């Protein structure tokens, strides 16, 4: 597990300030940080020539109007896309950034990187890239694929790893002592609920804290909901609109500082 402080409060920008600018674009990340975000959440795919690019979807249809899949294209091909093409607002041209560009543009910013493909084959190259940039201690790696997360951990990744779906089930329903033995991840990146199952209760959040596991909730765009989660002990939220949620975090920081005096 990583050595980072597990209870540091983080306001994650979900794909950047995606409520205002094309998601996962450099400008969206820049605006998010200017609006008060303290961390970035982003998604990656790998191109046919072995480059990781920051994009949520496997193809360009939704944002760029291009049906081609990223895995079949070179980096240069993907860089030609304008991911504001399908947006009705006049936002100017926004390209798909390479992961390396994002790491270099924001060298001190904590990030959560979601490896979207379920194929774990590219994982060694991803870990090598993060190591080359000295980014392991600030990057949490996540994936909905248990095979990807298993590969990340088996290769000895030095940073945090998000819990898999199975680990979240264990954490939610098993006694703390047993969950401690089974759960290898450091960060529960979760919705407030999954069907009828609540994940935002104080008891569950306290259980995570006891095990040194972060609880970062997505996607939270309502300030009242964010305040409620932080009051319950959550370590962070992921939002499309950091400007709306940042005042809640500033209020929380002030309360913490007051208690520490």
pLDDT at 1 over 60: no
pLDDT at 261 over 80: no
Query: What stretches of the chain show up as alpha helix (H) in DSSP?
Result: 26-34, 61-64, 75-79, 99-105, 123-132, 146-154, 165-173, 176-182, 202-210, 223-232, 242-260
For the ranges 63-72, 82-91, 161-170, 247-256, the lowest mean pLDDT is seen at 247-256
Angle between helices 223-232 and 242-260 (to 10 degrees): 30
Residue 18 token pair: 């995606």
Residue 115 token pair: 């490896």
Return the pLDDT at 7: 80
Return the pLDDT at 2: 47
Q: What is the mean pLDDT of the chain?
A: 95
Regarding predicted confidence, which is higher, 85 or 260?
85
Give the pLDDT confidence of 161-204 residue by residue, as tens digits.
999 999 999 999 999 999 999 999 999 999 999 999 999 999 99
Q: Which residue has the tokens 């590219």?
A: 122
Mean pLDDT of 72-76: 98
Return the pLDDT at 158: 97
Query: Alpha-carbon distance 72 to 46, whole Å?
Result: 9
Q: How far is CA 119 from CA 123, 147, 151, in A?
A: 9, 7, 10
Query: Alpha-carbon distance 21 to 27, whole Å?
Result: 7
Query: What stretches of 17-136 show up as alpha helix (H) in DSSP?
Result: 26-34, 61-64, 75-79, 99-105, 123-132
Question: Can you name the residues that pair with 188 across neighbouring β-strands?
Answer: 215
Residues of the chain with pLDDT > 90, as a percent, come to 93
Return the pLDDT at 254: 82
Question: Can you name the residues that pair with 53 across neighbouring β-strands?
Answer: 45, 98
pLDDT at 3 over 60: no
pLDDT at 253 over 90: no
Mean pLDDT of 98-105: 98
Residue 125 near residue 145, CB atoms below 8 Å:
no
- 128: confidence class by pLDDT, cuts 50, 70, 90: very high
- 255: confidence class by pLDDT, cuts 50, 70, 90: confident
DSSP 124-148: HHHHHHHHHTT-GGGEEEE-S-HHH
Regarding predicted confidence, which is higher, 1 or 146?
146
Residue 197 near residue 172, CB atoms below 8 Å:
yes
């Amino acid at each position: 597990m990583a050595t980072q402080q597990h209870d540091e409060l983080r306001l994650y920008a979900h794909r950047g300030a995606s409520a205002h600018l094309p998601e996962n674009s450099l400008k969206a990340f820049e605006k998010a940080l200017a609006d008060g975000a303290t961390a970035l959440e982003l998604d990656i795919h790998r191109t046919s020539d072995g480059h990781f690019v920051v994009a949520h979807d496997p193809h360009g249809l939704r944002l760029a109007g291009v049906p081609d899949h990223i895995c079949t294209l070179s980096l240069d091909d993907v860089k030609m896309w304008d991911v504001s093409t399908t947006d009705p607002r006049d936002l100017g041209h926004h390209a798909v950034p390479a992961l390396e560009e994002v790491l270099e543009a924001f060298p001190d910013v904590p990030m959560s990187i979601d490896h979207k493909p379920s194929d774990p084959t590219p994982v060694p190259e991803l870990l090598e890239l993060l190591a080359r940039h000295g980014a392991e201690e600030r990057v949490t790696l996540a994936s909905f694929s248990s095979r990807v997360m298993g590969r990340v951990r088996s290769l000895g990744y030095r940073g945090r790893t998000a819990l898999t779906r199975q680990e979240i089930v264990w954490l939610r329903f098993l006694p703390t002592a047993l969950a401690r033995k089974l759960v290898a991840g450091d960060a529960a990146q979760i919705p407030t609920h999954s069907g009828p199952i609540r994940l935002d209760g104080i008891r569950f959040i306290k259980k995570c804290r006891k095990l040194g596991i972060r609880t970062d909730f997505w996607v939270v765009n309502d300030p009242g909901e964010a305040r409620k989660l932080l009051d319950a002990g959550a370590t962070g939220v992921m939002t499309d609109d950091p400007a709306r949620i940042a005042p809640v975090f500033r209020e929380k920081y002030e309360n913490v500082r007051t208690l520490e005096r």
